[in-house]
A and B are shown apart, each in its own frame.
Chain A
Amino acid sequence: MSGILNSSIGRKFAMALSAFFLMIFLLQHFAINSLSVFSADAFNEVSHFMGTNWLIQFVMQPILMFGVVFHFVMGFVLEIRNRKARHISYAKNNGAANSTWMSRNMIYSGLFILIFLIIHFLDFWFPEINTKYIQGDMSGLLADGEGYRYFEELQHKFEPVWRVALYCVGFVFLALHLLHGFNSAFQSVGANNKYTKGLKGFGKAYAILIPLGFIVIALVHHFNH
């Protein structure tokens, strides 16, 4: 087992594991966001629970951070190594003849997701940390004490058109990333068998529907405010 990250297949395997983790997290994030469309109260309750539960805050959240950082750092490491494996590029290369655009541009879709994530952190995570741990307000209540603040804050964030547009573009890139990534991750861990065909369809559905769902939620809050 020693030094598995020093081998090409080991790195690939680790990349896939971090990706699986992110894809599961994405589902959970989507489920909670969906609540905000149907019930402000339910969204508030769950947000407060997620934001104050010690297991989630101090165990799950650090694991998630590690997962994200590991995934994109490893993504860059692999990209650099792979570029080094060819010193002179072809004068004419017909990549479209044998592979999808998504598969050849994972680093660019990933890079855009990273930019989106940075903005997403500045938008939601930093204010949260500031309120809870710097100002010490763990109540989760609005300034006037009239009910929870989470839903209000969410709607407020999706007022500016630029932010909604940016979120939409970010999720389009996530969809492109997952259109290749979902099934690629299974291949990386060695799962290529009689289920692969069916899984391809499922992967496509996941890659399109989940990001689309996030977009719809952002638009709903933009137009319903």
Chain B
Amino acid sequence: MNLTLKIWRQKNANDKGGLVDYKVTDVSPDMSFLEMLDVLNEDLINKNEEPVAFDHDCREGICGMCSLYINGEAHGPDRGITTCQLHMRMFKDGDTIYIEPFRAAAFPVIKDLVVDRSAFDRIQHAGGFISVNTSGNTIDANAIPVNKHDADKAFDAATCIGCGACVASCKNSSAMLFVSAKVSQFALLPQGKIEATDRVLNMVKQMDEEGFGNCTNTGACEVECPKGISLENIARMNREYLKASLKG
């Protein structure tokens, strides 16, 4: 396949940046999207040009490090996958592909397609933890019975890999799907009850301080999320938040 890529290039956080056209030839449909970019980068290095910076780590859909807004969608046109799992067979010979960084005021560009998602870490620090007695008499988690239905829902919520596709896809740059997954995975389990009130208040407060937008329930996040995190989690977070506000 021969393709035209329109890639966002930006030297650093202060550079204005812009789209640059690249032609890539002989792309195999079996390549992953990131391999295709690797080939482009090899080419650029051979020509003594600056390679395109993009995030990646595990390349098997579990770490949440890869990103990219490909042809107008986070993680590209396929469903239920991250960019590292996207294959070139999703595209046709002669296609033009737009490749942009995840956009949000709270995710500033570091370089080219690499954005700073540490806002998510700070939200986690604000409440994404539980208290466990570690002084020698730790209770084994398996010793505490958990309703199967709740355990399943908590597990589903816990599959969020913190990639930020929800923020990137949202017209409001809202982080509610991510935060609600993190709130839900604990809210549904007995171990999470101790800090339940503070957790939701503090995580939402941090989310607001980071400058994410406000959810208007468009549902774009749920569709684009590589892990299929459900909007039910946002509803649960709204309930938890209301409960906590009335208490505190």
Q: Which residues of A are interface residues toward B (Cβ below 8 A)?
A: 1, 4, 7-13, 78, 81-82, 84-95, 97-100, 103-104, 106, 180, 183-184, 187-193
Interchain nearest-CB distance for A17 vs B (Å) = 11
Q: Contact between A97 and B77 (Cβ–Cβ < 8 Å)?
A: yes
- Given contacts A7-B204, A85-B105, A86-B105, are A98 and B217 in contact (CB under 8 A)? no
Cβ-closest chain B residue relative to A87? B105
With a CB–CB cut-off of 8 A, which chain B residues contact A90? 69, 72, 98, 100, 103
- Once the chains are docked, how many angstroms separate the CA of A13 from the CA of B69? 31
Given the known A-B contacts A100-B218, A103-B219, are A82 and B213 also in contact in the complex, defined by CB atoms under 8 Å? Answer: yes
Our pick among B100, B207, B238 for the contact of A12 (Cβ within 8 Å) is B238
Give min CB distance, A46 to chain B, whole Å. 36
B100 contacts across to A, CB distance below 8 A: 90-92
A102 (CB) vs chain B CBs: closest residue: B218
A82 contacts B218, CB within 8 Å? no
A8 nearest CB neighbor, chain B only: B214
Partner of B237, one of A9, A86, A92, A104: A9
Number of residues of chain B lying within 8 A (CB) of chain A = 48
Most buried by B among A1, A184, A187: A187
Cβ B242 vs Cβ A13 within 8 A? yes
When the two chains form the complex, which single residue of A7, A87, A92, A192 contacts B98, counting CB atoms closer than 8 Å?
A92
User: Which residue of chain A lies nearest to B230 when distances are taken between CB atoms in the complex?
Assistant: A192
- Which residues B61-80 have CB closer than 8 A to chain A? 69, 71-73, 77
- B residues adjacent to A (C-beta < 8 A): 6, 8, 19, 69, 71-73, 77, 98, 100, 103-106, 169, 171-174, 176, 204-205, 207-208, 211-220, 223-224, 231-232, 234-239, 241-242, 245-246
Additional 14 contacts, C-beta under 8 A, given A91-B6, A103-B217: A1-B245, A7-B204, A9-B238, A84-B211, A85-B173, A88-B103, A89-B103, A90-B98, A91-B19, A98-B223, A99-B171, A103-B218, A184-B216, A192-B236
In the complex, 17 of the A-B residue pairs with CB atoms within 8 angstroms, ordered by the A residue number, are A7-B241, A9-B242, A10-B241, A84-B213, A87-B105, A90-B72, A90-B100, A92-B98, A93-B72, A94-B71, A94-B73, A99-B220, A103-B219, A104-B171, A190-B239, A192-B234, A193-B232
Q: Are B204 and A82 in contact (CB under 8 A)?
A: no
Of chain A, the residue at the smallest CB distance from B96 is: A92
Contacts of A99 in B (CB 8 A): 171, 218-220, 223
